[in-house]
Amino acid sequence: MDFNDTPQEAAFRKEVRAWLDANAPKHLEPELKRASFGSSGLTSEDPIEAGKKWQKKKAEAGWAVLHWPKEYGGGARTPIERVIWGQEEGVYGVLSGPFTIGHGMCGPTVMAWANEEWKEKLLPPLASGEDIWCQLFSEPASGSDLAGLRTRAVKADDGSGDWIINGQKIWTSGAQNSDWGLLITRTDPDVPKHKGLTMFFLRMDSPGVKVVPIKQANGASGFNEVYFDNVRIPDDQRLGAVGEGWKVSLTTLMNERLSIGSGMSTGFPELFRFCMEADVDGEPAVADSGVRSKLAQFAVKQSGLKYTGMRAISALSKGETPGPENSIGKLVAGATMQELAMFALDLQGESGVVWDEDSPQNGRFQAMLMRSPATRIEGGSDEILRNIIGERVLGLPGDIRVDKDVAFKDIPTSGSRK
């Protein structure tokens, strides 16, 4: 066991630091430090434009998408180098937020399933931030039960081989800024639900695609509804065989949980700073034993996640596959963030209800409180994640399913119950 950089790691860190020092947009640093929960913190520049600029700069110097191979515009760096880069990039990493879904989920799916021609066309502009991608999976009637989706893809009757798409997606992050989308559809309702799905990718400016922002419970609009009205997709934009969409989607979802879960913040460092300063009964909050007990429990969750991540990196560095322990990341981080936000407001007394510029840390904890319910749902709800841990990690039997061998069209829906 050793926490220190090896000589190679130290040399790499030095190289990264020097490049960042010469190239990072330092004038944005104060704003980026205020980033929290769905907001990049930027006010002086458009976040998408600023993000594209930073991503392009990184790509030109070989620092974009470090986990992708070089031939597609990636950096082909080792896991440990990626961690060091992340530590050094710090707040500037926020700028690449618009590309997270493309780099983490859509790109790897394209890489695994598209032909070489498409890979060469699609991946480099995604790596360099020229293109933004979104993931068109969830639907109003199929969230956790993703395979219950109803958006239809039907072969055009003009002999072109094209597909005609009709239906609706929901909870699509960043659809309003996206150039491309990864779309899962139903091509056959007469077979059991997992077997009738097919995956495509399409331009988001295709005729018939309409993006409508959702006004969320926290007042922001990061997610969208996306409507498809006779949208035409050429057959060569299909990923995997017809009916193989579920298998293709697993590539995406596996990457989703990895990229969402690793290195997630619980908000503990910010809470700790707040408790060092906040006044409780005339003393700093950390002087109160009740506060200390709560803080300690948050602290060990935060550090537990941090060192769980380091165990995975250690395994990767040795050429081993990380164990299943990383599946706990988002489950722990989401629930902790919510409890922690409630506790931070509690310490603010009755004025915890006030959410404005004068609130502690510019209202970070109020924002966290209002955003955290989504963290516990997006990318696999707490309940789905517990099923995954129970079934895939602990080997417990799956739930008894009533829809498994039934044709999709015969499965009862919320609307069919009288």
Partner 1 sequence: MNLDFSEEQNQLRDQVRRFLEERCPPKAVRQVLEGETDYDAGLYKGLAELGVLGAAIPEEYGGVGLGHLELCVLTEELGRVLAPVPVASSVYLVAEALMQAGSEDQKSEWLPQLAAGDAIGCWAINEGSGRMREEKVSVRFENGKLTGKKSPVADGAIADIAIVAAREGDGISLVMVDLSAGGVTREALDSVDPTRAQTRLVFDGTAATRLGGAGDGWHIASQVLDRAAILIAFEQLGGADRALEMARAYALERMAFGRQIGSFQAIKHMLADMYVSATLARSNCFYGAWALSSSAAELPVAAATARVSATTAFQHCAKNNIQTHGGMGFTWEYDCHLYYRRSNALALALGSLSTWESLLIERMSAGNVEAAA
Query: Contacting partner 1 (CB under 8 A), which of 237, 259, 262, 308?
Result: 308
Q: Looking only at residues 80 through 119 of this chain, which bind partner 1 when binding is defined by CB under 8 A? A: 80, 83
Element (H, E) at 16: helix 7-23
| 296 touches partner 1 (CB under 8 A) | yes
Nearest to 99 by CA among 72, 82, 123: 123
Contact indicator for 90, 96 with CB cutoff of 8 Å: no
Binding mask 46-85 for partner 1 (x = CB under 8 A): ----------------------------------x--x--
Contact indicator for 148, 412 with CB cutoff of 8 Å: no
Q: Looking only at residues 332 through 371 of this chain, which bind partner 1 when binding is defined by CB under 8 A? A: 332
Q: What whole-number distance in Å separates Cα of residue 134 and Cα of residue 157?
A: 29
Shortest distance (Å) from residue 340 CB to partner 1: 13
Residue placing its CB nearer to partner 1 in the complex, 300 or 354: 300
Residue placing its CB nearer to partner 1 in the complex, 100 or 314: 314
Binding mask 240-269 for partner 1 (x = CB under 8 A): ----------------------------xx
For tokens 């099923």, the residue is 387
| 403 touches partner 1 (CB under 8 A) | no
Give me the sign of the Cα torsion angle 345, 351, 354, 358.
Answer: negative
Q: What whole-number distance in Å separates Cα of residue 268 and Cα of residue 76?
A: 32
Mutual angle of helices 364-375 and 268-277, in 10-degree steps: 150
Chain-centroid distance, C-alpha 127: 16
Residue 107, beta-bridge partner list? none
Give me the sign of the Cα torsion angle 337, 338, 343, 346.
Answer: positive
Query: Contacting partner 1 (CB under 8 A), which of 3, 215, 219, 357?
Result: 3
Shortest distance (Å) from residue 269 CB to partner 1: 4
Pairing status of strand 152-155 against strand 163-173: antiparallel
* Token pair recorded at residue 42: 């930027």
Residue placing its CB nearer to partner 1 in the complex, 384 or 411: 384
- Backbone conformation region of residue 159, classed left if phi is above 0, alpha if psi is from -120 to 50, else beta: left
Residue placing its CB nearer to partner 1 in the complex, 191 or 389: 389
Give me the sign of the Cα torsion angle 37, 38, 42, 43.
Answer: negative
Shortest distance (Å) from residue 383 CB to partner 1: 7
Q: What whole-number distance in Å separates Cα of residue 316 and Cα of residue 304?
A: 18
Scanning 60-68, 209-217, 297-305, 373-381 for contacts with partner 1 by CB under 8 A, the matching segment is 297-305
Q: Looking only at residues 378 through 397 of this chain, which bind partner 1 when binding is defined by CB under 8 A? A: 383, 385-387, 389-391, 393-397
Query: Contacting partner 1 (CB under 8 A), which of 8, 115, 144, 303?
Result: 303
| 314 touches partner 1 (CB under 8 A) | yes
| 331 touches partner 1 (CB under 8 A) | yes
Q: Where does this chain bind partner 1 (CB under 8 A)?
A: 1-6, 9, 80, 83, 268-269, 272, 276, 286, 289, 291-293, 295-297, 299-308, 310-311, 313-315, 317-318, 325, 328, 331-332, 383, 385-387, 389-391, 393-400
